[in-house]
Amino acid sequence: MLHCCKFKPDDVYYLNDTNLYVYRMLSIGFCPICGKPVAELFQWRFDGISERQSAVGIKANDLMRKLKDEIIYSMTQVNYRKMKGKPFGWKYGENKSNKKGYKQYACDFYGNKELVKTIIHG
């Protein structure tokens, strides 16, 4: 995103396709220099031409309100789902022992654990 400087968006929303446009994304964020909200709508027309529309300040808020019913999902939702639940990405093993035997867990670096195997001493 670009306003006073180039910066990464705080969140990216993916929007429904329309009669004229496909692959629509709305990026939102706050400019690190002036602190104003910035919104950028990027979409492809069916004939292969891309269009980019930027808005700053109150116009950015109006653009977000106008497109909020067309949102399918956001990147923060996707990243949250990946990191919550089963181990994701690089995994490592962890063994816990007690008097009866031990348990093997598959763990990731986001704090998720999954029980893989339980071995009981006879």
Reported pTM? 0.61
Same domain, 72 and 18: yes
How high is the pLDDT of residue 79? 65
For residues 91 and 63, state if they share a domain: no
Tokens of 2: 């670009």
Q: 90 and 77 in one domain? A: no
Q: Are residues 67 and 28 in the same domain?
A: yes
Residue 106 lies in a domain: yes
65 SS3 class:
helix
In terms of residue numbers, what domain contains 69? Answer: 11-81
- DSSP for 38-57, please give it: EEEEEEEETTS-EEEEEEET
Q: What percent of the chain has pLDDT over 90?
A: 24
Task: Give pLDDT tens digits for 81-106.
Answer: 656 667 766 778 888 998 889 999 98
Q: Is residue 1 part of a domain?
A: no
- Answer yes or no: do 46 and 98 share one domain: no
Mean pLDDT of 56-74: 88
Distance of CA 11 to the CA centre of its chain: 7
Are 92 and 107 found together in one domain?
A: yes
- Other CB atoms within 10 Å distance of the CB of residue 40: 21
